[in-house]
Amino acid sequence: MAAVLAAGFIAVDRAATPAAPAVDTAGFNASVKPIVSGTCEQCHNASIKSGDLNLVPYLDPATVASDRATWELIASKVESGEMPPSGVARPPQEKMTALVKYLRGEFARADAAVKPDPGRVTAKRLNRNEYTNTIRDLLAVDFRADKNFPTDDSGYGFDNIADILTVSPVLMEKYLEAAETISARALGADPLPKKPLEQTCDLSTKTLRRLDYSTVEASQRIDYDGDYNILFKFPGERGADAKPVTMGFYMDGQLLKSMQVETKPSNLVAFNPQSNGEMTVFLPEGDHVFRAAFLNDDFVAQFTSDRDAYSDKKNKWIGAITFVGPYPTKVERASRKKILICDPATGDACVQKIVSQFAHRAYRRPVTPAEVASLMKFVAMAKSQGQTTEQGIQLAIEATLVSPEFLFRIERDPNPTDPEKVHRISDVELATRLSYFLWSSMPDDELLSVAEAGKLHDPAVLSAQVDRMMKDPKAEAFADNFAGQWLEVRNLDFITPDAKTFPQWNAELKEEFRTETRLFFQYVLTENRPITDFINGRYTFLNEGLAKFYGISGVKGPDFRKVDLTTDERGGVLSQGSVLAVSSYPNRTSPTIRGKYILSNILGTPPPPPPPDVPPLDVSKVGTDVSLRQQLEAHRANPVCASCHAKMDVLGFGLENYNGIGKWRTTDGKFPIDVGGTMPDGASFHTAAEMRSVLLADMPQFAHCLTEKLMTYALGRGMEAYDARAMDDIDKALAADNYKFQTLIHQVVTSLPFQSRRGELVSNKQSTGEKPKEIAQR
């Protein structure tokens, strides 16, 4: 709904819509006007403007056509029973139903009269994830754009929205530097230092951080791609009968290698007991976070104080990590193979082939001879400066990586300024849309060649490609980027739960949360499960650590696997630690935030913002003097607050059995948890599981919410009023196929907005009040 509301601001496209049929004024006066003027207006008037909405102008029937977004909002609020709020006299139900029926009828009539409009997507620069993945697939170089480029702004909850992705001078500088580094690294042209360097991270200099008794972390920059010897120091020793532990060594959350570490006394005479370990790994250039952890180390559970845990007679821990390197890596660089498809020493024909092939892949389309010629100038330039052919190729690659054709996804219009001219995008453009949708990266050779052969728009071919792509490991990017933002799991990196309140919170649990949700999402996708699983899947993905945290027995070892849920405690994403943690305050749960989360991300009806002087809760007393619930209930005694909070808080309280990091609980402080609630439409529940059933009963609403989020992400633009029809069609097809997730993906890909675009209306709106206001009130 947020997207539809915002549509009113996008003035440029408005006039493209042909005149809608005249509004049924008599029907309006009979079904709508009496309720608006008799009931709604008492709060939604010019002076109170509850929810930031003044309904006085909406007594004019013409607004049903001219401001559809507002009327859509009104219809949905009345339909869900949220409006009028309790405390306000309610017109009889049949009158309310008639109002909704009239509005829906008018919307349908208007839609039927409107020519289908695919809208258009603005030229879109690659965001940081897309840049990283594209470099990986284009050159087999591990370059972390998120560590090098400024943060991308996001809109509608996603960071791939074309209109808001801008290029600043700082970013341009970074593009230039990145192109230099990446092209050098790809050809292995960055010389390694003559002697390996040594850098030590240890606890005494605070370059190594303790995350818990078993885990340490270090931020370390690696300056060169290469092999490194990693030396570990393990101070202390455990008892003579202590078992060895497995130590995992991770880079940026990915396990690089693990090794066994003996923990019993070594029998070597030493002033302070200590042992060492060593492994060799390949490390790519960049800023990395390294983590070393004794996995499933039950031994430390006995320690209650740092003093004992770091006593070298009682325990053994990881005390220092030393990086020694770089050493030339033995394997030939995959990146060189990708570029040097023939031997440049054989002559210009080969060099031309190399440059042309590279540009072809980088621009994600066939290149013209003129384009190749202008890149070949760099080879000539290098040679004229006495550099080698390979250095010339490196320069041509560098130039390609800064070209707008690489950095932007640009779609051509035959009639760029005629909004009436709708056309299918080309097969090659479709391939690019598809690969950035499902992989957040460039098309692979197969997809691009199918497109260039002109076959991709064939429904059977397209469908087969989508099936293939969903199964490809690269679709993990879809889980990370779509689900990561839809479910706000990315915010795991920004939350800082209070260590005193939540002693179980640590970096490992955070990664386990993230992994659980990602694997769950990928399973629903690849197994073509119905999207109802998101609400109440009877399974999840756990390793031993997370299973213990959830209180589920029988899961052993660090690897994640699918686990069937046998009790009602958990089910679906709303009971996963990731979602529960990101929707809490650092030191307590917030039913309001969680309720807002469900309204925004599950039901697709985000609440309007609170008034500015909204009083927050008195946190200090929660759990001791009064329960959080009593406090919140007092808080919404005011009917203006109640209108939104009635639904928001009820949903949020439904999740109160999970604490601020998602652990199951039955009391909060000294108060028992009371989960039960009644929704504005009368549906009630007593447990979290029953609340999930209430949400399931409103499947069409969740399906529509997910459709809207997916379309926004797939297109990289907000949904406009003219997209309603395409979304309705998707909703219908999805419901008809039992809400299978893959069906939804296929429907999005075959929808009109995904397959077509039109010209842009050029308006002179700029000069007529679109300027920011400069109002001086004096």
How many Cα neighbours within 13 Å face the side chain of 146?
7
Residue 189 binds another protein, judged by CB under 8 A:
no
**Phi-psi sector, 508: left (phi>0), alpha (psi -120 to 50), beta:** alpha
Q: Which two tokens stand for residue 748?
A: 């999005």
Residue in this structure with the two tokens 């309006």, named with its chain if needed: 28
Nearest approach, Cβ of residue 229 and another protein (Å): 20
* Binds another protein by CB under 8 A, chosen from 24, 163, 252, 729: 163
Whether omega before 91 lies within 30 degrees of 0, making that bond cis, reads no
Instruction: Name beta bridge partners: 202.
Output: 320
Residue 380 binds another protein, judged by CB under 8 A:
no
Range 52-111, binding another protein (CB under 8 A) = 52
Residue 614 binds another protein, judged by CB under 8 A:
yes
Residue 179 binds another protein, judged by CB under 8 A:
yes
Residue 611 binds another protein, judged by CB under 8 A:
yes
* Binds another protein by CB under 8 A, chosen from 92, 612, 672, 682: 612
Q: Which residues contact 545 (CB under 8 A, 6 or more apart)?
A: 296, 508, 509, 512, 558
Is 620:603 a contact under the CB 8 Å cutoff? no
Residue 169 binds another protein, judged by CB under 8 A:
yes
**Region from 233-241, 556-564, 580-588, 638-646 binding another protein, contact rule CB under 8 A:** 580-588
DSSP codes joined into one string, 717-738: S---GGGHHHHHHHHHHHHHTT
* Binds another protein by CB under 8 A, chosen from 82, 142, 237, 398: 398
* Binds another protein by CB under 8 A, chosen from 132, 133, 148, 263: 148
Nearest approach, Cβ of residue 326 and another protein (Å): 15
Residue 172 binds another protein, judged by CB under 8 A:
yes
Is 126:407 a contact under the CB 8 Å cutoff? yes
Instruction: Name beta bridge partners: 56.
Output: none
* Binds another protein by CB under 8 A, chosen from 44, 68, 77, 120: 120
Nearest approach, Cβ of residue 169 and another protein (Å): 4
DSSP codes joined into one string, 55-123: -GGGGSTTHHHHTHHHHHHHHHHHHTT-SSPTTSPPPPHHHHHHHHHHHHHHHHHHHHHSPP-------
Is 564:538 a contact under the CB 8 Å cutoff? yes
Nearest approach, Cβ of residue 361 and another protein (Å): 17
Nearer to another protein, 108 or 619 (CB): 619
Nearest approach, Cβ of residue 704 and another protein (Å): 19
* Alpha helices per DSSP H over 190-300: none
**Region from 343-351, 399-407, 687-695, 729-737 binding another protein, contact rule CB under 8 A:** 399-407
Range 261-290, binding another protein (CB under 8 A) = 287, 289
Is 23:93 a contact under the CB 8 Å cutoff? no
Give the span between the Cα atoms of 172 and 174, in whole angstroms: 5
Residue 759 binds another protein, judged by CB under 8 A:
yes
Neighbours of 562 (CB within 10 A): 12
Nearest approach, Cβ of residue 442 and another protein (Å): 18
Residue 527 binds another protein, judged by CB under 8 A:
no
Residues in the chain: 778
What's the maximum distance between 2 C-alpha atoms anywhere in the chain? 98
Q: Which residues contact 618 (CB under 8 A, 6 or more apart)?
A: 631
Residue 203 binds another protein, judged by CB under 8 A:
no
Nearest approach, Cβ of residue 417 and another protein (Å): 6
Give the span between the Cα atoms of 489 and 514, in whole angstroms: 7
**Region from 98-106, 133-141, 162-170, 264-272 binding another protein, contact rule CB under 8 A:** 162-170
**Region from 75-83, 346-354, 393-401, 538-546 binding another protein, contact rule CB under 8 A:** 393-401
Give the count of residues interacting with another protein (CB under 8 A). 108
x/- string (CB under 8 A) for another protein, residues 8-27? -xx-x---------------
Residue 777 binds another protein, judged by CB under 8 A:
yes
Distance, first Cα to last Cα, the chain: 37
Nearer to another protein, 488 or 544 (CB): 488
Judging by DSSP bridges, how do beta strands 684-685 and 677-678 pair with one another? Answer: antiparallel
Nearest approach, Cβ of residue 449 and another protein (Å): 25
Residue 618 binds another protein, judged by CB under 8 A:
yes
Residue 330 binds another protein, judged by CB under 8 A:
no
Helix (H), strand (E), coil (C) string for 154-169: CECCECCCHHHCCCCH
* Binds another protein by CB under 8 A, chosen from 410, 461, 699, 733: 410
Give the span between the Cα atoms of 427 and 90, in whole angstroms: 55
Range 414-443, binding another protein (CB under 8 A) = 416-417
* Cα 54–Cα 56–Cα 59 angle in degrees, nearest 5: 130
Residue 774 binds another protein, judged by CB under 8 A:
yes
* Binds another protein by CB under 8 A, chosen from 613, 670, 682, 767: 613
Residue 6 binds another protein, judged by CB under 8 A:
yes
Is 121:756 a contact under the CB 8 Å cutoff? no
Judging by DSSP bridges, how do beta strands 245-251 and 286-294 pair with one another? Answer: antiparallel
Q: Which two tokens stand for residue 707?
A: 């459709």
Nearest approach, Cβ of residue 710 and another protein (Å): 15
* Binds another protein by CB under 8 A, chosen from 281, 402, 507, 699: 402
Residue 585 binds another protein, judged by CB under 8 A:
yes
x/- string (CB under 8 A) for another protein, residues 209-238? x---------xxx-----------------
